[in-house]
Structure 1
């Protein structure tokens, strides 16, 4: 699982070091699931942070640049398709979240995780926040980094497997994706453990 993280984080005291954590890509039929962890700098606020799903792609990309530039620390990780099929999507997501926290260049004092589940083995006290991507700025920032990273991955998947139109549906089980999946069969990027893909592999077509 690759870790992408900041290289030049601030060395200011850690009294306000709260990390927000979120994921992107639990539901799709293909591609990795991504997670991000972000410690925002209260002295360098970022306007417009929100749940990444509520933002346009252009706005997400612009905010992602600001987050990387202004955050005290950030990290992005992914759990690949083999890991998802081996562990299941929930456990793969929790693993990616934990690794994102471990990848931060500065240790947080508190971790806020979007949702109702916490990964095991976190490096400090943590709290699950339902709907946190719309409530906690640090989680919103993590949501944006995870989403933009996964969208970039889907663009790469489209270049590798253009017949599936990953650039349009981002791996989700849309009518277009299901039609292409039925037409071409699964590619190496598809999650074999997910029902629509598994049924095709078993020779069962709806």
Structure 2
């Protein structure tokens, strides 16, 4: 069955000013989680707008610039420290709220990808499961969040070479896990995530053994 193409039907049904909201970076072992909120101009939709997962990196980069130029956009972040303190789900919701709060205009509704709505939004929140494949506003937010986070991780890779963040964006690839074992944990790694936590436990045990 062919995959559906996102449109504005959910935005039209809600009415008013709609901000699509999505996040990127729940699964990686390193780096912050990123969210974006986008209010599209219905009369000026970038051509080829789609779920970020359905687009090449080069196409995402082009659309990132078009969306920024033609829409109201804000990006929200939750740090590694907040991820470890709150858990990744709550940190993702926090980043989403920050993105909505950062918009230059307050929307009537935040149309949020997934099934969880952030607390204390400045507007009504409506969730939409697999929204990035259904709503153009959420698809736009998915592109902004993905490209912004990928670029951040590429920058961090220059300061911490060897982990491959410029290509794996912090996800637990075999090369990233091997680098963690060989080079250890950086300040940008999420200590509450099991592979990182286990390496820290192993290093602590080795340190204790060396003292005996």
Instruction: Provide TM-score, normalisation by structure 1.
Output: 0.90
Residue in structure 2 matched with residue 152 of structure 1 by the alignment: 151
Residue in structure 2 matched with residue 142 of structure 1 by the alignment: 141
Residue in structure 2 matched with residue 8 of structure 1 by the alignment: none
Q: Give the secondary structure class of the aligned counterpart of 2:162.
A: helix
Shift of 1:94: 0.3
Whole-angstrom distance in 1 between the partners of 2:164 and 2:135 = 34
Whole-angstrom distance in 1 between the partners of 2:73 and 2:16 = 15
* Residue deviations 1:70-123 (CA, integer Å, cap 9, x gap): 01x110011111111111111111001001101111111111000010001111
Runs of 4 or more consecutive aligned structure 1 residues displaced over 2 Å after TM superposition: none
Q: Give the secondary structure class of the aligned counterpart of 1:34.
A: strand
Whole-angstrom distance in 1 between the partners of 2:154 and 2:45 = 30
Residue in structure 2 matched with residue 169 of structure 1 by the alignment: 168
- Kept in 1: contact 2:153–2:166 (CA 8 A): yes
Whole-angstrom distance in 1 between the partners of 2:151 and 2:16 = 31
Whole-angstrom distance in 1 between the partners of 2:134 and 2:143 = 14
Gaps of 5+ in 2: 1-14, 206-212
Shift of 1:52: 0.7
Residue in structure 2 matched with residue 57 of structure 1 by the alignment: 57
Shift of 1:161: 0.4
- Map 1:83-122 onto structure 2 (within 5 A): 83-122=82-121
Shift of 1:179: 0.7
- Kept in 1: contact 2:76–2:97 (CA 8 A): no
Residue in structure 1 matched with residue 78 of structure 2 by the alignment: 79
The yes-or-no answer on 1:24 pairing with 2:24 is yes
Q: Give the secondary structure class of the aligned counterpart of 1:203.
A: helix
Gaps of 5+ in 1: 1-14
The yes-or-no answer on 1:38 pairing with 2:19 is no
How much is the aligned-residue C-alpha RMSD, in angstroms? 1.3
Higher Cα radius of gyration: 2
Residue in structure 2 matched with residue 126 of structure 1 by the alignment: 125
Whole-angstrom distance in 2 between the partners of 1:157 and 1:78 = 15
Whole-angstrom distance in 2 between the partners of 1:123 and 1:129 = 18
Which structure has the highest helix share of the two?
A: 2
Whole-angstrom distance in 2 between the partners of 1:111 and 1:165 = 35
Shift of 1:16: 4.0
Aligned residues: 190
